[in-house]
Structure 1
């Protein structure tokens, strides 16, 4: 199974730095894909998001363990113990997807990063729901959550003061998966989302957030150990092969 991976990230105006980060670890015909979105209000959160990506990818590519939900879940408290001491006031949302050699995926997420699937008509079907006050008491459509101010208050995230358990699920890559931060799924209209996926920047509103999407597409032929990295990757992206 071959895959093409691309990343596009555009800095917003709420902070001086782009606090969205992404990365992949490649281990044979398996891939660990991660995005993290640092809080725009908690200091040092961009550095925390970057550290989450790098430490998980580095651990993954040198590990000889079989990747199961339990294996990935067990690594998060160890990661938290280390990073919470270095980033004492920071927090970040994250989405982790491990794709096995057969195309099946393990999904772990906490916060407001979403996993989407592209349909044949180009539309995006969101496969999970964010952890926000907007939908804390019931399952709401993503389009409704995006318009509610309560979505900015997270009920789960990677936060320094406590280790919060993520949601765990499964998926399968049929043709194309998207890992997106809330600046993408909540602030861009569907037509602009499609343009952004293709690498186009979209005009930033006065209070626009960082927006990023990690795109994973199946290819007919396997290259470079099954994963082909698109050359035009934007910044804030970390790649390591095992």
Structure 2
């Protein structure tokens, strides 16, 4: 049945999102030259409004929606260097946590090596009852071609995907099984992490996080052992 009120709401949101797009573009242009806190605040407000409208419109259209994932430490934007350990049942994601150096003046770039013994803060994210995961491209330079772009995605951020097409596809595949039970899928969630050079996403029941100090190799060793634990 045709729902005129819903169509009207979609049209209204589409118009508001277009105006928000224009506002955001103007705010981005204002950041290009030397700018003040005023231009920065306008950009942040415009971006927040734009993401909110994207999510509202996608939700109204019953499309996938990307929401910020709470409880996940922000990674180093330039060099998060994510690593994945997985056994098919346990899946662990490791990455460098963002640390602000108060002495950094922006005049140099610090090169980081995974083989370095230097101590850093490393996030260890274990996904519980992980059904499947993907790890690799695309990178941040082509995110505007990602299927979930304009549905609430934020670069360099972690997300939970509501109304996930990936989960629906997997449910459809499994539906032919004689013991298929759709209730078993009710607690499964779609998580998406957008790093600098790659992305990580998985379908899992949930996750737990710890932040540990050490070299990446030192932190990865016990995580690797966990993969083989009963």
TM-score, normalisation: structure 1:
0.25
Greater relative contact order, per chain length (Cα 8 Å cut-off, separation 6+): 1
Greater gyration radius? 2
TM-score, structure 2 normalization: 0.26
